Every structure is written in structure tokens, then in C-alpha cells.
Structure 1
Amino acid sequence: MTRSLRRDLYASVAAVLLVTAAVLIGHHIQSTSHTLFVNWPPLLATWGPHLGPGTPAAVAVAIGTVVYGPALAARLPWRKLLPLAWATALVWIFSLALIDGWHRGIARRLTSRHEYLQVIDRFDDIPNALRGFTGHILLGSPDHWPAHVAGHPPAAPLTFVLLDRIGLGGGGWAGVWCITVGATACVAVLVTVRALADETLARRAAPFLVLAPAAVWMGTSADAYFAAVAAWAVALLALAVTGRSLWWAGASGLLFGLTCYLSYGLTLVALIGAAVLWLGRRGLRERPALLVPLFAGLAVVPALFTLAGFDWWEAYRLLVTRYHQGVGGIRPYDYWVWANLACAVLITGLATVAGLRRTGAVLVRARGGTHGRTAEARLALLVSAALLALLVADLSGMSKAETERIWLPFAIWLLPACALLNRPRAWLAAQALLALLLNHLLLTGW
């Protein structure tokens, strides 16, 4: 066993201990003080071993990806690899969701009392709904919004309103939308890694992005959709600065603006965007005009919502109050500030923990030397920016519990660290096993 592999295993053991501590201490806190408001801490889940119609497909996708994924990713033409990665991720997410059955696993997820589909009829007059949106955020306000609607800017519920308007109403279509769009996030990350690091590392990361344990929560969660929009904003920015394309820059800005109106917390994706600009600074210096369409695109969505009468800053101020009016004000920060990291381990897997260990080693080697210009160093910087965004979200105190869902847009950017690992099949098997165990032993929800 090499020294690097031994250190990878040490990091994995430490992560297992962190999760174990979060489970044991969390169960103690919940059973004594009932302040966590989750049934199976640190996850919002219930213990319930079960099989379902998605079980055979999930096992088949897992075995197929572990056995053939690394080789296919290494030799397939790039233009064929991307659609294959998306299709495999799509089947993986769908099959995991269907372990709980169509009704519970997909169709009912976005129709619960906390979710967006509860307010479709309140957007019959969209301009009026946007003007009055902030008046329904606080508990105690007339007809206050459900938790997830109050917790997000109106582009989130408006997405499902527009789906309903074009004939794709109901929980089934909403679930299919989130899974189908969410699965494209892995493609966006691959495009970004290839543009900023190199194609070899992107190919090595591909099976890990496809077989991510995060897929358990990407089916079905609106945060999967948010993750994809944010990921494509970053990917288009990477293409813009490396290809010096004004069109990609404008499209990236447009999606960054939309991202901020899907979730307040996704403003932290700006940290990943900043890393992209730094890594692509040569292209930016050669064509500084790229910033013009980037910022012009960035202004479009905020301008439209502001003109419609929605005040983002006022809404966020009210959300902070609403957050502390509910269970967010009761859940103990001193538990969740580290237990959230255990959730991050569960959605990214032990392979990612080992990959992050190697990411740190790459950055140490790169400090002050020519190694800083290597593909691995560039990948390490991109992954580190995502980790920083996640840590800022954690320390903010606005992410106490449910981070297995909320942090999906950041978690997908940690997975490329797995490209630095040796023995990919063994690590992939660990990823797949974790996802299958989580989905078969627990009933997840939000």
C-alpha cells in the first residue's frame, strides 16, 4: 500500500467517524431536547429499510458504471461521452428515486405542504404576485408562504407556475423536470474541468460525477434544478474566458442572474465564478470586453424582477427573520455547524473525502512553485473554491439541517477531486454502495 493511499484511507476513516458522531450525538440531542427536528440526524430522514421497483435498475447502473465507467470515459470521443454521462446520471437518479416508488419517490415530493406546487394558484396574476411577494414571507403575515417558497426568491416557484401554464402541471411533471435538468449538472462540471484543467482529468472525474451519492437527493428536489442552472452558469463562464467568446459570457451572466433569483444562498456560487475568472485570467486579459456581456447578462434577471416589483434585498432581510421564527431559530448551531459537514460526506461520498485530501496535497505542492500551473493545480483551485463556498454557507448559520439537499449546488463541484485518485473502480464501488444503502435503509424527505 502506497503512502498516498494510506493517507486517503485515514481521511476516509476520519470522515466515517465524523458521520458516526453526528448520528450518535444527534440521536441523543433529538431524544432528550427534541431541538433538531429531524428523525434520523444528521439527515432529514426516517429509518425504514425497503426495496422498490427502482432497485434492480439502480444496482445494474451501479455495477455497469463501476465495471465499465472508467474505461469508457477514457476512450470515448468527447462528444459522445457528454450525452452518455448525462443519460447515465439521469437513469441513476431516476432508479434511486423509484426505489421509493413513483408516487412517493417522484410524483409526491414537490406537492407537500412546504413545497412550490402548493402556491400555483396564487400566481394566476404573476405581476401582482411578484409585487406582493415579500408581504407573505413572515409567519403571521396574511396567507404566509410555505417554507420553501418563503425561503427562495420567486424565480423558484415561478418555474413551476410556468410549467403548469404549458400543460406540465402536477407533481409528476415537476419531479421529471427537476431530475432531467438536474442530471445535466454533471455535464456542466465536466465541460468546466476540461476547459480550465484538462480533458484527461475531466474524463477521470466523469464516472464519479455520474455515480454521485448526491443522486439520492437530486431525485426529486428543486435544488437539483438549481444546481444545474448554477453549474451551467459556471461552465459557460469557463468556455467564455478560455474561448474568448462574447456570446458565452453573456449567456453565463444571464444564468448567474437567474441563479441568484432561484436561491438566496446561491449568491455564493460567485466564489466558484471568481475561481473561473482567475484560472481564465489570460483570456480575460487578451479580451477584457468579455466583462461587458457578462455583466450585461447578469443584470437582466434582477432588472426584470425589480421592475416587476420584487425587492431581493428586502425579501432576504425578511427571510432571515422568518428563518429564526421557525425551526431554524431553535435548531442548535453548535451541533449543525459540524454535523452539516457529515451531511456533506454522505452526499459526496468517501471517494470525494479522499479526493479533497489529495486536493490539499496538490495545493501545498503548488504553493510558490511552477506546479501551480499544472492541470491538477488548476482543478484543485476550482474544487477549493467550491469547498470555500460550502464552508461559508455552513458558518453563516442559515444552513442548519437539510444540507444534504440545500448544498447540492456546491457538492457537485467537490466531486471532480475524485479525478486525482488511483484505483477508481474501488472508490466508485464505495460511492455506489453508499448511495444504495442510504436509499434502501432510509426514507428521505423534506
Structure 2
Amino acid sequence: MTRCLKRDLVAASAAAVLVAVAVLVGHRIQREDGTLHVDWPPLSAVWEPHLGPGTVPALVLAVAVALWGPAVAARLRWWAVPLAVWAAATAWTWALALVDGWRAGVVDRMENRHEYLAAIDRFADVPAALRGFSDHILIDGPDNWPTHVAGHPPGATLTFVLLERLGLDGGGWAGAFCIVVGASACAAVLVAVRALAGEPLARRAAPFLVLVPGAVWMGTSADAYFAAVAGWAVALLALALTGRSAWWAAAAGALFGWACYLSYGLVLLGVIGVAVLLLGARTVRGRPAVTVLLLAGTAVAPVAFTLLGFDWWEAYRLLVERYHQGAGGVRPYGYWVWANLACAVLVVGPATVAGLRGAGVVAWRARGAGSGAVLGDGPVSGPVRLVVLAAGALLTILVADLSGMSKAETERIWLPFLLWLLPVCALLRGARGWLAAQAALALVVNHLLLTSW
């Protein structure tokens, strides 16, 4: 065993200890006073070992990707790699969702009384619903919104309103939409990595973006859809900054603006966006049209929603008030501020933890290169640029965690940010073993626990 592998295993083991401590301490707190408001801390889940129709397909996919994924990703023509990742990630997510069965694993999760579909009939008149949206956020407000409708800007609910008006109504279609669209986030991350850090690293990251343990919560959760919108916003910005058309920046801005009306927390996506802008600093300075188009695109959704009568800032203020009223229970910050990180480990898996250790080594060795090289003013390696992207994601997660607005359920809420840590797996040696570990984690969690999403 090489010294590098030993250190990777130590890092992964330390993360496993964090998870174990979060489980043990969380169960004790929940048993004594119930203040965590989750049944199997730190996850929103219940202990229920089970098998289902997705079990065999999930096992087959896990073995196939672990054994042949790296070779296939290395040999395919590039244009086919993101498509293959999207298709395989979709299949992986579907298989994990169907471990719980079609009804329990897909339909019921979208038709839950706390979810968006429960409020669709109140959007018959969309402009009127938007004008009065903030009136129903507070718990003691008149006819207050279901939990997830109140907890998000109206863009999230409007997505499912549109699906219904297209004839795709009900939990089945909503779940299928979230799974298929959500899986495209993996392809988006891949596109961004190739643009910013080079094709070799993107190809090595590809199988890890398929067997992401977070797929357990991407099927079925609207946060998977949010992750896709956020992912493509970053990917299109990366394309605009690396020699492609400046109009990609307008599309990136439009998606970022839309993301902010899907989830208030996605404003933090701007931190990852800043990391991308730093990596493309030369383009930003030399092509002012990119910045102008990015800002113009970002303004589209805020202007449209404001004109229709929805005040984002007022709604967010009321949401914070609702949160402190006890929506979901008043959860202790002292536990969740570190237990959230245990949830993150379960989403990204041991390979990502080991990859982050490797990213730290890369950053340490590159410290003498100077910021100018990293910002595009000189030669810099793809791994260093990959580390900058991962650092943006880590900073985003840190801000979200310390804010106190992310206490529990971060296994789904942080999906749009956590997916950006997966590419550091490209720095690992022995891809097959690490891929097997990623798949094993997802399979164990999905078969032993019945998750809320």
C-alpha cells in the first residue's frame, strides 16, 4: 500500500468517525428531548431495512460503472461523455429510488402534504398568487402555505404548476421530472470541469459523477432539479469564459436568476460563480461583453417576478421569521453546525473526502505559483484550477452551515453545492476501488434506511 493511499484511507476513516459520532450523539439527543426533529439523526430517515424492484438494477449499475466506467470515459469521444454521464446518472438515481418502490419511492414523496403539489390548485391565477404569496408564509398567517412552498420562492411551485398545465400532473410525472432533469446536474459539472481544468481531469471525474451517493436524495426531491439549474448556470458561465460565445454568459445569468427564485439559499451559488470568474479573470478583463451579458441575464427573473408583484426580500424576511417561529421545530444549532457536515460526507462519499485531501496537497504544492497564475495570467495546472473550483464549493457550504438557516435535511438542501466537490475524485489513484466504496455507501444507506426524499 502506497503512502498516498494510506493517507487517503485515513482521511476517509476520519470522515466515517464524524458520521458515527453524529449518529450516536444525535440518537441520544433525539431520544432524550426530541429537539432534532429527525427520526434517524443526522439524516431525515427511519430505520427500515428493505429490498425493492430497484435493488438488482442498482447493484448491476454499481458493478458496471466501477469496473468499466473509467475505461469508457477515457475512450469515448468527448461529446458523448456528458451524455453518457447523464444517462448513467439517471439510471442510477431511478434504481435507488425504486428500491423503495414506485409509490413510496417516487409518487408519495412528491404528493406529500408538505410538498409543492399540495398548493398547485391555489395558482389558478398566477399573478394573483404571486402578489399575495408573502401573505401566507408565516405559520400564524391566514391559510399558510405547505412547508416547502412557504420555504421557497414561488419559482419552485410554478415549475410544477407548469408541468400540470402541460398534462404532466401528479407525483409520478413530478418525480420523473426531478430525477431526469436533476441527473443532468452531473453532466453540467463535467462540462464545467473540462472548460476550467481540462479534459483529462473531466474524463477521470466522470464515473464519480455517476455513482454519487447523493443520488439517494436526488430521487425523488425537487432539490435535484434545483441542482441542475444551478449546475448549468455555472457550466455555461465556464463556457463563456473559456473562448466560447459571450452569449453563454447571458444564459448563465438567466439560470442563476431563476435559481434564486427556486430557493433562497441558491443566492450562495454566487460564491462558486466568483470562483469561476477568478479562473476566467483574463476573459473578464478582456471581454467586457461577458460581464454585461451575465448581469443582464441575471436581472431577467428578478425583474419579471417583481413586476408580477412578488417581493423576494420581504418573502425571505418572513421566512426567517417563520423559521424562528418553529417551522420544522426549533433545532439546536450546537449539534447541527457540525452534524450537517456528517450529512455532507454521506452525500459526497469517502472518495470525495480522500480527493479533498489530495486537493489540499495540490494547493500546498502550488502555493508558490502566485495568484496571478491561478487567475489566468500565467501557466497553471488543471489540478490547481480544479482545487479553486472545489474551494468555492467548500466556502459556499461553510457559509450555509454557519448561517444557522441550514439545520438538518442538508443531505438534500446542499445538493446544488455538494456536487461541485465530486470532481476532486479525479485526483485519486485506484478509481475502481473508490467507485466501489461510493456505490456501497449509497446502497447501504438506501437499503437500511427509508429516507424522506
TM-score relative to the length of structure 1: 0.99
Contact 1:238–1:276 (CA under 8 A) maintained in structure 2: yes
One of 419, 423, 428 as aligned partner of 1:421 = 428
Equivalent-residue separation in structure 2 for 1:64 and 1:326 (angstroms): 46
**Partner SS state of residue 139, structure 1:** coil
Structure 2 counterpart of 1:437: 444
Aligned-residue sequence identity (percent) comes to 67
2:35–2:330 Cα contact (<8 Å) kept: yes
Which letter does structure 1 place at the counterpart of 2:173?
A: W
Write the distance in 1 (CA, Å) between the matches of 2:325 and 2:100.
32
Measured in 1, the distance between the counterparts of 2:228 and 2:244 equals 23
State the secondary structure of the residue aligned to 2:135.
helix
Q: CA deviation at 1:288?
A: 1.5
| Distance in 1 between residues matched to 2:246 and 2:346, nearest whole Å | 39
- Aligned residue for 1:243, secondary structure, equals coil
In structure 2, the residue matched to 1:380 is 387
SS in 1 for 2:241: helix
Matched, 1:107 2:114: no
Contact 2:205-2:426 at 8 Å conserved across structures: yes
Q: Which segment drifts farther, 76-85 or 178-187?
A: 76-85
Other structure's SS at 2:106 match: helix
Partner of 1:172: 172
Q: SS at 2:113's partner residue?
A: coil
The unaligned stretches of length 5 or more in structure 1 are none
Please report how far the alpha carbon of residue 287 of structure 1 lies from its aligned counterpart in structure 2 after TM superposition. Answer: 1.1
**Letter of the aligned partner of 1:440 in structure 2?**
H
| Structure 2 residue 243 is matched with structure 1 residue 243 | yes
- State the match for 1:306 in structure 2: 306
Moved over 4 A (4+): none
Matches within 5 A, 1:33-432: 33-327=33-327, 330-369=330-369, 372=374, 373-432=380-439
Task: State the Cα deviation string for residues 263-320 of structure 1 (Å, max 9, x = none).
Answer: 0001010011001111011122221111111111100000000000000000000000
The Cα of 1:164 is off from its aligned counterpart by 0.4
Q: 2: distance between equivalents of 1:237 and 1:223? A: 21
What root-mean-square deviation, in Å, do the aligned CA atoms of Structure 1 and Structure 2 show? Answer: 1.0
CA–CA separation in structure 1 for the residues paired with 2:87 and 2:225: 16
Kindly indicate whether the alpha-carbon contact (under 8 Å) linking 1:204 and 1:419 is maintained by their aligned counterparts in 2.
Answer: yes
Task: Give the partner amino acid of 2:407.
Answer: K
**TM-superposed deviation, 1:344:** 0.2
Pairs aligned (count): 446
Q: Which amino acid aligns with 1:212?
A: V
Contact 1:186 1:210 in 2 (8 A): yes
Instruction: Tell me by how many angstroms 1:244 deviates.
Output: 4.5
Q: Please state whether the residue corresponding to 2:450 is helix, strand or coil.
A: strand
TM-score, normalised to structure 2, is 0.97
On the 8 A contact 1:214/1:348 being kept in 2, the answer is yes
Q: Aligned with 1:368: secondary structure?
A: helix
Give the stretch that moved more between structures: 300-309 or 288-297: 288-297
Please give the per-residue CA displacement for 1:399-434, whole angstroms capped at 9, x wherever unaligned: 000000101001100100100000000000000000
Aligned partner letter, 2:301:
V
Alignment deviations for residues 65-119 of structure 1 (CA, whole Å, 9 cap, x no partner):
0000011111111111111111100000000000000001011111111100000
**CA distance, structure 2, for counterparts of residue 54 and residue 402 of structure 1:** 24
**Which secondary structure state, in structure 2, belongs to the residue aligned with residue 143 of structure 1?**
coil
SS of residue paired to 2:100? helix
